[in-house]
């Protein structure tokens, strides 16, 4: 068994879990008082960060270890949990690459984090282009349809 303690928490104006419209969300990632401010020294030199977080509001009864239609939409194929990015997954971990806008002491201000207010942050990693795929990324067509409004800005 593993025990993981959050290193930070998300603060933003999204209190409700929603599937779309994350593009205009600005979040503060507030580093825990247990973690030294030196832990983020130099982070302002990176344009993007990868945030690993815990889906703390996910319904444990809906955790899936099999295959489902993404968003329960029968127009999408039935695919395994590891072929989609849904929150009701075995270890309830999410990850998102965000734009780093500003650093204020122990607070990272980021854009495009699809996590609600109060979400525990498990880890923060700088995005380094050498870790990104060297070749073109391929994906099935249904994923683009599913994601068409995900990063749209709310009207």
Per-residue confidence (pLDDT) for residue 21, from 0 to 100:
60
Mean pLDDT of the chain: 91
pLDDT tier at 135, thresholds 50, 70, 90: very high
Q: What is the pLDDT of residue 155?
A: 61
Name the CATH code of domain 8-146 (choices 2.40.30.70, 3.40.50.970, 3.40.640.10, 3.30.70.890). Answer: 2.40.30.70
CB 120 within 8 A of CB 6: yes
pLDDT category at 32 given cuts 50, 70, 90 is very high
Confidence category of residue 145, pLDDT binned at 50, 70, 90: confident
What's the pLDDT tens digit per position in 2-29?
889 999 999 999 887 776 667 678 999 9
The whole-angstrom separation of Cα 66 and Cα 81 is 6
**Domain chopping of the chain, boundaries:** 8-146
pTM of the model: 0.91
The arithmetic mean of pLDDT across residues 90-108, rounded, is 95
More reliable by pLDDT, 72 or 102: 102
pLDDT digits (tens, 9 = 90+) for 42-62: 999 999 999 999 999 998 998
Q: Burial letters for 45-74: b for 16+ Cβ neighbours within 10 Å, e otherwise? A: eeebbebebbbeebeeeebeeeebebeeee
């Amino acid at each position: 068994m593993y025990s993981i303690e959050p290193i930070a928490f998300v603060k933003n104006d999204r209190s409700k879990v929603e599937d779309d419209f994350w593009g205009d969300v600005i979040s503060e990632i507030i580093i825990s008082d247990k973690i030294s401010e030196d832990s983020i020294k130099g982070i302002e030199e990176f344009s993007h960060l990868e945030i690993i977080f815990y889906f703390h509001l996910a319904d444990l009864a809906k955790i899936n270890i099999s295959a489902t239609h993404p968003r329960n939409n029968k127009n999408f194929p039935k695919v395994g949990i590891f072929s989609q990015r849904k929150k009701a997954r075995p270890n309830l971990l999410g990850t998102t690459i965000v734009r780093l806008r500003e650093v204020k002491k122990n607070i990272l201000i980021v854009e495009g984090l699809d996590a609600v207010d109060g979400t525990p942050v498990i880890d923060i990693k700088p995005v380094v282009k050498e870790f990104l795929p060297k070749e073109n990324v391929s994906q099935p067509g249904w994923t683009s349809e599913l994601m068409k409004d995900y990063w749209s800005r709310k009207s």
